[in-house]
Amino acid sequence: MFKRLAVLVVFLAARSLVLVACGDETASVPAYSGATAVTLSDSVKSKMSDSLAQIKNPTVEGFKTTDDVNKIKSTYDSNFKSAGWDDKSSEFGSEASIKQLTDLGLVVLGYQKGNKAAIVMAFPNTYAGALGFSGLGTNENAILVISGNQA
């Protein structure tokens, strides 16, 4: 189950970035206040980087927070919109793969600002370890932020 979930997350991230990328290479991805950076496994970084051949200089970052995934979703949504990013989540929100993730309690968001694209995924603690996150306490949830420019 967890291996299938990890493969689905990698596929979704790669596909999502292609859907939303197109314009400003200098846009910075809004930070999540109170989140702490975590080390992602080499396997996760490699899978994401290999899947993102169509994205120039992709960045894959992991974070942890005690906030629940719904608060992560609303905070990122507000932060991106305040920074002038366009919400592109609806462009892939009806796909069956997204539904599988959201049914498990995961959050998937997509934003675009010019040529810069960003995907944010929030994972309940239950799935974080299986997806390559380490160093999370039992009450902490994980955030994966993938960003880059269209090649």
CA separation (Å) from 23 to 107, 115, 119, 151?
25, 3, 16, 11
Q: How confident is the model at residue 49 (pLDDT cuts 50, 70, 90)?
A: low
Rounded CA-CA distance 3/89 in Å is 24
d(CA 119, CA 112): 9
pLDDT tens per residue, range 119-143: 888 989 988 877 778 888 999 999 9
Mind giving me the DSSP string for the chain?
-HHHHHHHHHHHHHHHHHHH--S-TTPPPPP-TT-EEEPBPHHHHHHHHHHTTTEEEEEEEEEEESS-HHHHHHHHHHHHHHTTPEE-GGGTTTSHHHHHHHHTT-EEEEEEETTEEEEEEEE-HHHHGGGTB-S--TT-EEEEEEEEEE-
Beta strands 36-38 and 55-65, pairing class: antiparallel
**Average confidence score pLDDT of the chain:** 78
Q: Band of the pLDDT at 44, cuts 50, 70, 90?
A: confident
Per-residue confidence band for 71, with pLDDT thresholds at 50, 70 and 90: very high
Count of other CB atoms within 10 angstroms of residue 91: 13
Pairing of strands 55-65, 141-150: antiparallel
Tell me the average pLDDT across 75-90: 92
pTM higher than the cut 0.85: no
